[in-house]
Amino acid sequence: MTDRITPPFTEASARQMVQNAEDAWNRRVPEEIPGEYTEDIKWRYKDAFFQGRQHIIPFLTVRWPIQQDYRLKKEMWSYSGSRISVRFISEWRHRDTGQWYRTHGNEHWEFAPDGLMSVQDISANDVEIDESERTLT
């Protein structure tokens, strides 16, 4: 891909990477996601750890349907060279219980020279909220 953003990042290119990721995750199409990662991506989301691009679609195919009415906002926290740190908030309704949640978290990303993500490390906490408390719509 000739228009892929590659490191070392500038503030503008790092912010664009964050926006691209937010847009992709809000579309919630699992098949769109793996192409942005290296074949041997090291991935952690909360307590889920895996290595390898082939695990992304199965992970998202299980996780995303549980999170109904999902909305995500990412904000760049910092960047340097081939790394970007992000803080995020998402809101979603649990498919089985109807309970609304707000997820707060931090992401640390590292990129290969070709601009594909090689490390994604996400720490996050889910907090129960009332539907009336939603801020992302």
Give tens-digit pLDDT for 24-75.
999 999 999 999 999 999 999 999 999 999 999 999 999 999 999 999 999 9
pLDDT in tens, 96-133: 999 999 999 999 999 999 999 999 999 999 999 999 99
Contact 77, 102 (CB under 8 A): no
Cα–chain-centroid distance for residue 103?
A: 12
Q: What is the DSSP letter of 20?
A: H
Beta strands in the chain (DSSP E): 37-45, 48-51, 67-80, 83-94, 100-111, 117-129
Three-state secondary structure call for residue 133: helix
Asked if residue 1 has pLDDT above 70, the reply is no
Rounded Cα distance, 100 and 92, in Å: 6
Asked if residue 2 has pLDDT above 70, the reply is no
Asked if residue 10 has pLDDT above 80, the reply is yes
Give the pLDDT confidence score for residue 3 in this predicted structure.
83
Around Cβ 119, how many Cβ atoms within 10 Å? 18
